[in-house]
Amino acid sequence: MTESTLPQLVERNARQWPDRVAIREKDRGIWQQWTWTDYRREVKELALGLVALGFQPGDKLAILSDNRPQAYWAMVAAQAARGTPVPLYQDSIARELQFVIDHSDATIVLAEDQEQVDKVLDLQDSLPKVRRVIYEDPKGLRHYTAPILTSFVKVQELGRKHATERPGLYDELVGAGRSEDIALISYTSGTTGAPKGAMVTHANLAAAIAGMQQVEPYRPTDETLAYLPPAWIGDTFWSLAASLVIGFTVNCPERPETVQENIKEIGPHFLVAPPRIWENLVSQIQVKMEDASRVKRWVYRRFMPVGEEVARRRMEGQPLSLRLRLLHALGEFFVFGPLRDHLGFRRNRSAYTGGAPLGPEIFLFFRALGINLKQVYGQTEISGVSCIQRDGDVAVGTVGRPFPNVELQITERGEVLARSPMVFAGYYKNPEATRETVRDGWLHSGDAAFIDQRGHLVVIDRAKDVTALADGTTFAPQYIENKLKFSPYIKEAVATGQNRPFVAAMVNIDMENVGKWAERNRIAYTTYADLAQKPPVYDLIGREVERVNRDLPEATRIRCYVLLHKELDPDDEEITRTRKVRRAFVAKKYADIIEALFSEAAEVPVTMVITYQDGRQATLETKLAIRTVGEVPLPKAA
């Protein structure tokens, strides 16, 4: 049988590597593991259990879970039963879950634990299509009596019983799968409105992995860590599709809080992370070095510039002098090697960043440590990844070149178009949006970019977000924001200035790092809002803004800034679950603050309603200081 679907690949792997470890999970301090034979058994029992519950071909299984083996088995089991999995963001609030579960027509929901079960049960009246809720972890659910509830173990018991009654059913279902079948519905982050359900086929995923393998050779003996949300297409790409196609081992962390510790234990051969993770790692290292001994700080500050210079020269293809090679060898012994080991990258061959642009300073930082960090680019609509930087052909600020099976075009307006067998089948129940996104076989990405002299794609920003000042000077807000977030003291930033005389910024401080800085400097504070409005904190962020301004053209430098009284939060719809700013929403919600930034005001009063995850709301009233940056001159048009 030709393996053209993910369940068929599980069958192949169980035959080819029956005793090789397919997946692990750390539970109560011990790594539990399942071979490919175990993987197949778990999938088969669950698939037949779903069938016994009335799951029909074409039905949808919503999955609300952290990275656990059961979540990945459930995705494959739904496919094996000729249905479609719909992974959900596990930190979604009620209205987000209600929309996706109802819009996808899910008939069964798989919920990880009591917290997720409670969310679904609270929404039961608004989810008329849901017939069953399956829970994985029974802790705290002993006294729940809702008839809609069934345990994961019970469903597998039903599957084993069904297998004895109809012994050939599972093989029949799996064998009937076709490459053009929908493998999953992956909902977009919804930066401009309600999320859309992208229908990705088995053929799309197979083409994506084939394209990656042509430039990034993986091995069945490789290991990686699955810790990013299963609802994100990037996790589907590596932790599910690539694992089944290639046969490498996927490791699931004990808890989200133990990811860094688990990375050190596993030492993954490759790892993918969004920019926020890399930014956090840089912040952690920089803060720890501030607390280190004087000798360690001196060694770090002496050799990091050497590592960055070597990384820059290697990327530009320039030779290294004997002095630079000797200094780099010392830096490898004293700084780079120990830091890689501390971060868990001792066996790492490749590390990737994607989902949003990564600031050049952060990118160069990891290259300086000897970590083979590369930028990838893609969308849900093209199965996750379509461009990557090749080994030996890495450049700061680019996303590399497309896979061999991807054709790119840049329109006159600068929008990226792609044509490939990886392009999705369309949006679920939204033919109008599908026609707008895919025209004549070309995927319209909505990203503004250009191709440089080396043939690398350089993504500037979302096309709709590239804007202009009052004098016509164009600028990309995301580029400025990424440079700000290189600071260990800045967690999030929003640059604004459309049709204004200059650029201004709203900044979220990093509570943990700024809090430690405040403690070292004996600055007392109570809450996030209190800390953010301390004059010394404004001075601290001001120095970071001035650093960013030195690298910006004069006309697009940040003229003034304000430190927000709260973090931008997905629960308040200000950013998406993948931490992309919902610019239109933020511009409307913070209109008074933005107006004050472009006035002569020294402060602005705010009254904000904050929504917590459980639906409770709180009202906050305060005044935010507005600070002008150094001696940055206003553009002449002002």
Q: Lowest-pLDDT range, 405-409, 585-589, 633-637?
A: 633-637
CA-based nearest residue to 163, from 303, 17, 42: 42
How far apart CA 317 and CA 320 sit, in angstroms, is 9
What integer pLDDT is reported at residue 161 of this predicted model?
97
Residue 12 DSSP SS3: helix
**Residue 75 burial (CB count, 10 A):** 28
Percentage of the chain modeled with pLDDT above 70: 97
What's the pLDDT band for 193 if we cut at 50, 70, 90?
low
Query: Span 467-628: which CATH code?
Result: 3.30.300.30
442 beta partners: 439
Rounded to whole angstroms, the Cα distance separating 53 from 83 reads: 13
Closest listed residue to residue 249, CA positions, set 63, 410, 427, 19: 19
Calpha distance 222→246 (Å, rounded) = 9
Torsional class of 143: left (φ above 0), alpha (ψ -120 to 50), beta (otherwise) = alpha
Token duo for residue 8: 């068929």
Q: How far apart are CA 414 and CA 398, in angstroms?
A: 15
pLDDT-derived band at 578 (thresholds 50, 70, 90) equals confident
Query: pLDDT tens-digit profile of 487-518?
Result: 889 999 999 999 999 999 999 999 988 998 99
Q: What is the pLDDT of residues 196-228, one digit of tens each?
A: 999 999 999 999 999 999 999 899 999 999 999
What lies within 8 Å, CB to CB, of 318 at 6+ separation is none
Q: Where are the domains of the chain?
A: 6-201+230-240, 275-346+348-462, 467-628
pLDDT at 189 over 80: no
pLDDT (tens digit per residue) in 252-271: 999 888 998 999 999 999 99
pLDDT at 636 over 60: no
- How much is the pLDDT for 633? 44
What's the mean pLDDT in 296-321? 94
CB 560 within 8 A of CB 507: no
pLDDT of residue 290: 82
At the topology level, CATH places domain 275-346+348-462 in Rossmann fold (3.40.50)
Residues in the chain: 638
Please give the structure tokens belonging to residue 58.
Answer: 């074409």
CA distance 373 to 81: 39
pLDDT tens figures, 612-625? 656 677 777 889 99
**Helix, strand, or coil here: 552?**
coil
- Tokens 């780099």 locate to 328
| Whole-prediction pTM | 0.85
Q: How far is CA 112 from CA 126, 141, 162, 336, in A?
A: 20, 11, 24, 39
SS3 18: coil
Q: How far apart are CA 242 and CA 574, in angstroms?
A: 33
Q: Please say if the pLDDT value at position 632 is more than 80.
A: no
Which one-letter amino acid corresponds to residue 287? V
**What local confidence, expressed as pLDDT, does residue 614 receive?**
64
Whether the predicted pLDDT of 634 surpasses 80: no
User: What's 319-353 look like in SS3?
Assistant: CCCHHHHHHHHHHHHHHHHHHHHHHCCCCCCEEEE
Q: Give me the torsion for CA of 264, 270, 274, 276, rounded to 10°.
A: 30
Asked if residue 330 has pLDDT above 50, the reply is yes
pLDDT band at 114 (very low <50, low <70, confident <90, very high): very high
* Share of residues in the chain with pLDDT > 90 (%): 73
pLDDT class of 611 with cuts at 50, 70, 90: low
pLDDT, tens digit, for every residue of 57-87? 999 999 999 999 999 999 999 999 999 999 9
Question: Cβ contacts of residue 189 below 8 Å, gap of 6+?
Answer: 195, 576, 577, 578, 580
CB 626 within 8 A of CB 604: yes
Structure tokens at 315: 């990327």
3-state DSSP call for residue 36?
helix
Q: What is the DSSP secondary structure assignment for residue 389, as one 8-state letter?
A: P
Strand-pair category, 503-509 with 558-563: parallel
Task: Select from 553, 544, 550 the least CA-distant residue to 627.
Answer: 544
Neighbours of 535 (CB within 10 A): 10
pLDDT band at 191 (very low <50, low <70, confident <90, very high): low
Of the candidates 513, 508, 496, 504, the residue with the CA atom closest to the CA atom of residue 532: 508
Is pLDDT at 631 greater than 70 in this prediction? Answer: no
Gap between the Cα atoms of 435 and 64, Å rounded:
30
What does the pLDDT average to over 311-326? 93
Cβ partners under 8 Å of residue 598, min gap 6: 500, 501, 502, 504
pLDDT band, residue 352 (cuts 50/70/90): very high
pLDDT of residue 580: 81
Hey, what are 287's tokens? Answer: 């803060």
Tell me what the mean pLDDT of segment 380-391 comes to: 95
Whole-angstrom Cα distance, residue 400 to residue 388? Answer: 5
Q: What is the pLDDT of residue 2?
A: 63
Decide whether 6-201+230-240 matches 275-346+348-462 in CATH topology. Answer: yes
Fold of 6-201+230-240: Rossmann fold (3.40.50)
